[in-house]
Each structure stands twice: as structure tokens, then as C-alpha cells.
Amino acid sequence: MIELANPTRFMALSKRLLPWLWAAAALVTIAGLVMAFRAPADYQQGRTVLIMYIHVPAAWLAMMCYTIIALSGLGTLVWRHPLADVSARAAAPIGAAFTFLALVTGSLWGKPMWGTWWVWDARLTSVLLLFLMYLGLIALWRAFDDPVRAARPAAILALVGFVNVPIIKFSVEWWNTLHQPASVFRLDGPTIDPAMLWPLLVMAVGYTLLFLALHTAAMRNEIMRRRVRAMRVRAAGGVLAPAE
Amino acid sequence: MSHYGFIFAAYAVTAIVLVGLIAWVVADGRTQKAALDELDRRGIRRRSDRAS
């Protein structure tokens, strides 16, 4: 981790790591899809259960990505880590995309199973709120010309918004919702048949590897963008804001 | 009980969003790399590069 603390070292290490991450993400996701399409149909849902293999990992990634943004916010505010704000800013559009996928695939699963595209229950509403939080963070970063000045307010907003993540996780237990309760991460073990659980877990690993590849590539882009900006400002005789 | 239209739509949206996300990240990387190369051609370098 100490090696990665320097943006220059991060750029060198990530350049070597990135092709392996892309390849691993593609291989594991393809393996997960093959396993999913070979898994048995659900006794109630039939083949519609196929939507689970893309909906559930997207929902997990939506929450994981926001957790990474909140931890990065902590890194910005407490340790002033040079890569913390870069990490948060790079993760936000990716998290928004996974949250969007969780909402859309959930809606496409809900219509045939529940008979409705949408209900304002606690789980669905809190995930919609997560999506709006992502958009708010992206808007906040874009509102500042200087990314260094945007770092602290964005970190505070990200940390305040993190309260929504446990609400999403436990909403199905705290309130009466149309959404089913947790069936994988439970104290008494998963309630899904292993024939469906394994493809789901492999898909989740594939999505996680894809996120890591996207996040690493987006962090590299953000570092380059800041270098370009700093060099242009300096070339124009301007003065940069002091780094956090 | 199968609803192939819903399954197809869910997988299609997922594929479009994820491929679009990958394409956007790769294209952004190329844009930033091209901008750095252009500055380098003009002789504008980072202070740390000049120091080394």
C-alpha cells in the first residue's frame, strides 16, 4: 500500500496490472454466464430467475462502490491521501452505472414476478436514493473547476450519504417490503440452492473484477487529467490551489 | 412460467451499459494520454519531470 501511495508509482504498477484485470474480469464473467444459463430453472419463477444473475451482483457492486467512495472520503479528510479523492471521483460514475443497472434489471424482474415495475417500498426507494447520491456527487465534482477545491465538500457529502448503505442492506428486515429478504449473506447461511448459488457467486466475482479494472483505469485517467490541467495552468502562468 | 422478453431486455440493458462504460473509460484514457503527449511535444513538462 505504501508503494501505491504515490500517484507516479500507482501509474507504473496499474499499467502492468490492468491487462490482467481486464482479462480476469472477462474470463470470470463469461464463466459465470455459462454457469447461469446451465443452472436449473426456479420452481416458481421458471427461467425468469436468469435476471437474478445480473441484478444481484449489480446491486452488491452499487453498495460496494459507494463504500469505497466513503472510505476514500475518509482518506481525503483524515489522512489527506493523494490518491483518495482520485479514487472517489473515479468510482462515482461506475457506481452510478451499477446502481442504474440494479434499478432497471430489478424493475424488469419485478414486472413479471410482482406484477409491477416499481413500488415505493424501503429497498427500492433507498436504492433510488443511492443513485441520486451518485448523481449529486458527480454534479458536485463537476461544479468546481479545480478538483483539489472540490475534494473536501465531496468527501463530506460522500460520508454523510454513507448512512444510506446500511439502510439499503437492512431495509428488507426493518420494514415490510415487497422485495424479498436477504438470501445469500445470512447468519444462518444462504437459502438459495447451490446449483443457483455458485453461478451467482461467480458472476459476483466477475462483476467485482470488472469494477476493479474500470476503477483502476478511471483512476489512471483522473491522474492524467489532473496532470494535464496542472501543466496547462502552469504554462499559462496561472497559480494552482494548494493540494489538500 | 417464463418471460423471455423481460430476460432479454435485462441482459441487453446490462450489456449496453457495461460495454458503454468500458468504451467510455478507454476513450477517456486515450484522450488524456493524447493531451499529455501534445503538451510534451510543446515542451511543457511536469516539474518533477524537469527535476529528474
Cβ atoms within 10 A of the Cβ of A223, count? 20
| Among A94, A214, A231, beta carbon nearest to B46 | A231
d(CA B20, CA B23): 5
Q: Using the beta-carbon criterion (under 8 Å), do B13 and A230 form an inter-chain contact?
A: no
Burial A63-78 (b: 16+ CB within 10 A, else e): bbbbebbbbbbbbbbe
Kindly state the helix (H) or strand (E) to which residue B48 belongs, with its residue range.
helix B47-51
| Among B2, B11, B28, beta carbon nearest to A46 | B2
pLDDT at A236: 80
Size of interface A-B (CB pairs under 8 A): 91
The 3-state DSSP composition of chain A as helix, strand, coil percent (nearest 5) reads 75, 0, 20
Going by C-alpha positions, the residue among A211, A225, A185 that lies closest to residue A96 is: A211
pLDDT tens for each residue of chain A, 244 residues long: 555 578 889 999 999 999 999 999 999 999 999 999 999 988 888 899 999 999 999 999 999 999 999 999 999 999 888 899 999 999 999 999 999 999 999 999 999 998 999 999 989 999 999 999 999 999 999 999 888 889 999 999 999 999 999 999 888 888 877 777 777 777 777 778 899 999 999 999 999 999 999 999 999 999 999 999 988 888 887 666 655 4
Query: Looking at CA atoms only, how far is residue A236 from chain B in angstroms?
Result: 11
Cell 414476478: give the residue. Answer: A113
Q: Using the beta-carbon criterion (under 8 Å), do B28 and A227 form an inter-chain contact?
A: no
Residues of B with CB under 8 A from a CB of A: 1-4, 6-7, 9-11, 13-14, 17-18, 21-22, 24-26, 28-29, 32-33, 35-36, 39, 42, 44-48
pLDDT at A241: 61
pLDDT at A29: 97
Residues of B in contact with A227 (CB under 8 A): 36, 46
Closest-CA residue of B relative to A18 is B26
pLDDT at A4: 57
pLDDT at B34: 95
ipTM: 0.89
Residues of B in contact with A93 (CB under 8 A): 21, 24
Query: Looking at CA atoms only, how far is residue B49 from chain A in angstroms?
Result: 11
pLDDT at A80: 85
Beta bridge partners of A46: A42
d(CA A35, CA A90): 31
What pTM, to 2 d.p., does this model score?
A: 0.91
